[in-house]
Amino acid sequence: MANNAIPRDFLKNVLQNGMGRYVCQLQRITFRFCKSHPGSRHMRDFIENHLLDFTQKNPGVVVYLQPRRHRPPSIVAEFLNGRRESMEMMRKEPQEICKWAEYMRGRSGVQIVNMIHNNHTETPSTQGIWHPFMFRDSETAVAKFPDPKYSAVRETGKTATDYVLEEFNNKE
Amino acid sequence: MAAKTCTKNVMNFIMRSPKFYTSIKLKELLLCRQLYFGCLVRPCLGGSSLHSLPGNRFSSAVVSSPFPSLVSCRTKSTRKADIQISMNLGVCGIEKLEDFTSLSDKSLEDEVTGQINESLEQGNTGRLYAVVYIRGIQHKVTAGDLIVVKYDFPPNVGDRLRLEKVLAVGGKDFSMIGQPLLSRNFVRVDATVVEKTLSHNRVWFVYQKRRSFKKFHLYREIFTVLAINSIQVARLPEQNEEIENQSTQKLE
């Protein structure tokens, strides 16, 4: 796929989160599973053994359980900014489901796209952005070219030609 | 990309051989400072964290290996730089690196520190900026910025960090540059972990023409987003104060 067809976006912070205190952006999480089908065996195991740990650690997150007959298990996460993400949990072991639930907790709810820059700043420069005339004398701006002052040959150290000439003169 | 796989292979080899592992780990434990940044040995975390997510291609080694604490998943150069800095930053070593430039002309030095102190007292510094070193990469930040730290980074969502490796600090009309670091007594950069996510699906495609050789991989990187809360600079010690302090220390 062409590179410009991939959606891209800048780095975002939802509602300036973390500038004062941090607010968990995950609001609701739904675990959907079947009570009888072997496909949601691991999900049932997770609900029996690990779900209470998750709820106790995250009191700010509302947890729903939704049994659906003969349907694959999945997680649905709803974020503070109104976005909703679902993820299939078929053939994923309880530990893996734990990790994906934790992943959802860490998300800010912004859609995942290609990041243009890996930093974001409102004030790119405090001392002013450098340009080639920054520390130059402003006299050059008014000068009329050709100017003998600016077209003069700059003094350098002893060149190779000077050295050779000197040697030649010494010999003579 | 090749460098990454190469390091991974090397680390796999080390992981498999227990002798190598113990020697390296002991060595690094001795050298390692209890900072998040630049640490090679990752603190042991609970089962449910982003580090060993199954989607991450670096994590397969983590899950399967008997020693889950030692992981390398960065480029070669980054790792090299990181090792060098963290070696230098042993617990006792950090003091040596924190230093201000001493100018040859002492009167000039006094004048400069006096001017900086004056602007700090009057609040004329403008918006402060700092250059911060995190995991082999330097970030130029001001308060309110967002930074992404790539690959696995131990702090969790909502954690407050103090970024201790500050390479430079500046204001409207002054900038201080460390050799290589600025002292922790004068500069303080605070940050909050705002988000831990995975990147979008990135394509790793290798193709050789006329050889029927093709590789197509999709992988996702781990991102940790830091929000910079504040940058603070304390008053610099002036010449007279320094002498007094030294004398009092000697007396003590």
Q: Tell me how close the Cα of A99 comes to any Cα of chain B, in angstroms.
A: 5
Say if residue A146 is in the same domain as residue A110.
Answer: no
* Domain shared by A56 and A99, yes or no: yes
Nearest to A95 among B47, B142, B150 (CB): B47
For B128, the closest chain A residue by CA position comes to: A126
* C-beta atoms of B225 and A13 within 8 A: yes
Q: Is residue A166 part of a domain?
A: yes
Domain presence at residue A101: yes
**pLDDT tens-digit readout, B233-250:** 998 887 655 555 554 444
Q: Is residue A65 part of a domain?
A: yes
Give B10 to chain A, closest Cα distance, Å. 27
How much is the CA Rg of chain A, to the nearest whole Å? Answer: 34
Which tops the pLDDT comparison, A1 or A113?
Answer: A113
Domain membership flag for residue A134: no
pLDDT in the model for residue B237: 82
Q: Are B120 and B187 in contact, with CB atoms under 8 Å apart?
A: no
Cβ of B128 within 8 Å of Cβ of A126? The answer is yes
Rounded alpha-carbon distances, angstroms, from residue A157 to A149, A153, A163, A166, A170 = 20, 12, 11, 14, 19
CB B72 within 8 A of CB B136: no
Is the pLDDT score of A149 beyond 60?
A: yes
Residue type present at position A18: G
Binary contact (B199, A98; C-beta < 8 A): no
Q: Hey, which residues does B98 pair with through a beta bridge? A: B181
Residues A91 and A153 in one domain: no
Q: Residue A115 and residue B199: Cβ atoms within 8 Å?
A: yes
The tens digit of pLDDT for each residue in B29-65 reads 433 333 333 333 343 333 444 444 444 444 434 444 4
- pLDDT tens, A7-64? 899 999 998 999 999 999 999 999 999 999 999 999 999 999 999 999 999 999 999 9
Contacts of residue B126 in chain A, CB cutoff 8 Å?
126
Phi-psi category of residue B158: left, alpha or beta, with phi > 0 → left and psi -120 to 50 → alpha: left
Cβ burial of A42 (10 Å; 0-12, 13-18, 19+) is buried
- Mean pLDDT check: name the lowest of A130-139, B26-35, B119-128, B207-216: B26-35
The Cα B73–Cα B58 span in angstroms is: 6
A131 lies in some domain: no
* Residue A35 counted as domain residue: yes
Q: Is residue A103 included in any domain, yes or no?
A: yes
Residue of chain A nearest B199, judged by CA positions: A112
Question: Closest Cα to residue B113, out of B96, B122, B126, B100?
Answer: B100
Residue B35 confidence (pLDDT): 36
User: Mind telling me how many Å the CA of B228 is from chain A's nearest CA?
Assistant: 8
Residues 20-59 (A) with a CB less than 8 A from some CB of B? 22, 24, 54
Among candidates A113, A114, A120 on the partner chain, residue whose Cβ is nearest the Cβ of B145: A120
User: What residue in A sits closest to B138 (Cα-Cα)?
Assistant: A119
- Average pLDDT of span A85-104: 93
Distance (Å, rounded) from C-alpha B86 to C-alpha B42?
13
User: Phi/psi at B196 (nearest 5 deg)?
Assistant: -130, 115
Q: Is the same domain home to A26 and A109?
A: yes
**Residues A74, A151 share a domain:** no
Q: Are B60 and B8 in contact (CB under 8 A)?
A: no
User: Mind spelling out the 3-state secondary structure of chain B?
Assistant: CHHHHHHHHHHHHHHHCHHHHHHHHHHHHHHCCCCCCCCCECCCCCCCCHHHCCCCCCHHHHHHCCCCCECCCCCHHHHHHHHHHHHHCCCCCHHHHECCCCCCCHHHHHHHHHHHHHHHHHCCCCCCEEEEEECCEEEEEECCCEEEEECCCCCCCCCEEEECCEEEEECCCCEEECCCECCCCCEEEEEEEEEEEECCCEEEEEEECCCCEEEEEEECCEEEEEEEEEEEECCCCCHHHHHHHHHHHHHC
DSSP state at residue A87: E
Do A149 and A109 have their domain in common?
no
- Domain span including residue A82: 3-115
pLDDT of residue B70: 39
Q: Could you tell me the CATH number of the domain that includes residue A106? A: 3.40.30.10
Q: Is B129 within 8 Å of A13 when comparing Cβ atoms?
A: no
Cβ distance B192 to A18 less than 8 Å, yes or no, reads: yes
Range in A168-172, B46-50, B154-158, B183-187 with the lowest mean pLDDT: B46-50
Q: Decide if pLDDT at B26 tops 50.
A: no
In this structure, the answer to whether residues A76 and A149 fall within a common structural domain is: no
For residue A76, being part of any structural domain is answered with yes
In B, minimum Cα distance to A98 occurs at B48
**Domain co-membership, A143 together with A105:** no
The answer to whether the predicted template modeling score (pTM) of the entire model surpasses 0.80 is no
| Secondary structure letter of residue A154 according to DSSP | P
Q: How far is B40 from chain A (nearest CA, A)?
A: 23
Looking at the fold, whether A162 and A89 belong to one and the same domain comes out as: no
- Return mean pLDDT, chain A: 91
Q: How many domains does chain A have?
A: 2
Contact A75, A89 (CB under 8 A): yes
Closest by CA to B70, choosing from B32, B102, B125, is B32
**A35 and A108 in a common domain:** yes
